[in-house]
Structure formats: C-alpha cells, structure tokens
Amino acid sequence: MKNGKMIFKGAKRGVISGTKTLDDVAKRLAKKFKIAIKNKRFKLYGEFNPWVLLADGTVTFVDDQTLMRNNPHITNPNRNVLGKNVRATNQKGKTMDGIVVGANDDPSILTKYLQDRSTSQGGRRFNKDLYNNVKSSPNANGTTLNNEFVDLFMNKNSSVRNITASYGDVLSQNDLGQIIRNTLINAGSGPGHLLRDLEKILAHNPQGINHIIGNLRTASRSNFLGAEWVLRYIADGANPQRLRGLTQLEL
C-alpha cells in the first residue's frame, strides 16, 4: 500500500493471459479477488475453483461455493486443499467421492494429464489407482498428490520401463523421478510426451545428452523448458530425418 493505493510491483503488459493492459489486469483481478480490512490488516481473498479427480477415474470442475456447500469440512478453500477428500458430481449427475487435484480455472499439467487419461478404460484405471493411493494417505496435501503421481507413473509408464531397462547407466531412478516432478511444476508438454521424446533421443546416445538430462533435472524453469524444447523439436515424429545421424546435442 502506498498513499492509500495498492501497488503491484513488477506488473508487466499481458501479465495475465488474455489481457493487454494493466487496466485489463485490474478488471480481471477485481472479479477474482476481494480485499477486507481486519485488525488494521489487509486480507486478500481469492476464488478457488478446484478440479476434482472422482472415484470413477474422471475429472470434474467445481466452483468454490459448490465445493463448500457439499463439503462442510472445507470452510476456507485455497491451494491447501489439494489432495483432500471431497464429494462432487460427475458429468452424469452422480455424486461421489473425489480428491482435489487442481486449484485454478486453467487446468494444471497434472489435471490435463488426468483428463486425457480419463477418456480410455486403461487411463481411468490409472486415475482410480491415483485416487485410491491419495485417499488412503493421512493428511494428504499437494506434495502427497505429486509424490503419489510420480510413484504410480514410474510403475505404469512404458517409456519409464524402457529407459530403465536400456539406459539405466545414463538415467537413474532418482533422475527419472525428479524429471517427472519437474514436468508437473513447469508448464511444458507434460510427463508422457517428454518421456517418449527422451526415450527416442536416448536410442541414439548423442554427445551432450547428459547436459540435456541435467537441465531436465534442474530446479531452473528456463533450463528445464529449454531442454524439453530441444527434445520435442528433434524427436518430432513428423520429421524423422532429424533423428538420422544424430550425434550431438547442444543448448
């Protein structure tokens, strides 16, 4: 607060998707947040519009008011309810148990992955396994959700199995686990696409692959996304010639 005004430092043009000016940003923020003064302190309240993974393996979107109405134990919805057990309604109008897997209007990488999986029987089995694993965890939260997803993905994904069997000397289980976690944090192509691309590239064992892997394991968002882009560009199935004679990778 400065001179009775709220100042957003570091705000840039287009800081929120779909906005062109700071006026647009202010209008978008005003719709999603309210400010209250309590004990001479400003409190910022925001909408929490969660995505819920249901017991049947499907994913549904629920607004925060509906979530609280159907789940009296949730009195202050925010990101802290990730992984929590709730009741929600599927697309057929049936109310069932579920767990919160997303916290914003725009679906996260994890939410998108689970949505894609929910369109097939095998994918729904994966989603159900994740639901059961998280539901049975005491005091589940966002970290629990991500950890259970990583463990399940590593056990079920064919690219993980192939990489472990053929290239275990290049990529350890810990490396793979960290890379999968990073796909959930960084808004790239997601774990499935990245692991398939990585498997294709590893088959050629090009010079520089260890540098790429190092960037995929790093906490640096820019390094991770740069390495992911290189893999996706080269492994693009529509351009198989990019893989022929591949001997070296550079960033």
Residue 143 included in any domain: no
Residues 167 and 197 in one domain: yes
Q: What is the pLDDT of residue 124?
A: 94
User: Average of pLDDT values for 218-228?
Assistant: 88
Residues 16 and 73 in one domain: no
Residues 3 and 70 in one domain: no
Q: What is the pLDDT of residue 190?
A: 86
Per-residue pLDDT band at 1 (split at 50, 70, 90): very low
In this predicted model, what pLDDT tens digit does every residue of 99-154 receive, in sequence order? 999 877 788 899 999 999 999 999 999 999 999 999 998 888 889 999 999 999 99
The radius of gyration computed from the CA coordinates of the chain, to the nearest angstrom, equals: 21
Q: What is the pLDDT of residue 105?
A: 76
Q: What is the pLDDT of residue 46?
A: 47
Residues 131 and 96 in one domain: yes
8 Å CB contact between 210 and 202:
no
pLDDT at 31 over 50: no
Residue 4 included in any domain: yes
Residues 233 and 162 in one domain: yes
pLDDT at 155 over 90: yes
Residues 176 and 192 in one domain: yes
Residue 216 included in any domain: yes
Residues 166 and 224 in one domain: yes
Residue 186 included in any domain: yes
Residues 164 and 234 in one domain: yes
- Edge-first strand order for the sheet with 95-102 is 59-61, 51-54, 95-102, 85-89
What's the distance, CA 115 to chain centroid? 12
Q: What is the pLDDT of residue 79?
A: 54
Residue 13 included in any domain: yes
Q: How many domains does the chain have?
A: 3
Domain-terminating residue out of 46, 62, 82: 46
8 Å CB contact between 199 and 156:
no
Residues 133 and 56 in one domain: yes
pLDDT at 173 over 50: yes
Residue 230 included in any domain: yes
Instruction: Among 4-18, 57-71, 205-219, name the most confident range.
Output: 205-219
pLDDT at 251 over 60: no
User: Average of pLDDT values for 164-184?
Assistant: 91
Residues 233 and 186 in one domain: yes
Residues 26 and 71 in one domain: no
Residue 96 included in any domain: yes
What does pLDDT average to over the chain? 78
Which carries the bigger pLDDT value, residue 181 or residue 2?
A: 181
User: Average of pLDDT values for 92-97?
Assistant: 88
Per-residue pLDDT band at 30 (split at 50, 70, 90): very low
Q: Is 12 exposed, middle or buried (0-12, 13-18, 19+ CB in 10 A)?
A: exposed
* Percent of the chain surpassing pLDDT 70: 68
Lowest-confidence range among 77-91, 153-167, 216-230?
A: 77-91
Residues 26 and 57 in one domain: no
Number of neighbouring beta carbons within 10 Å of residue 103: 21
Residue 247 included in any domain: no
Q: Which residue has the tokens 């994740």?
A: 130
**DSSP string covering 72-103, please?**
TT-SS-SGGGTT-EEEEE-TTS-EEEEEEEE-
Q: What's the rounded Cα separation, in Å, for the pair 249 and 131? A: 39
Q: Name the residue range of residue 23's domain.
A: 1-46
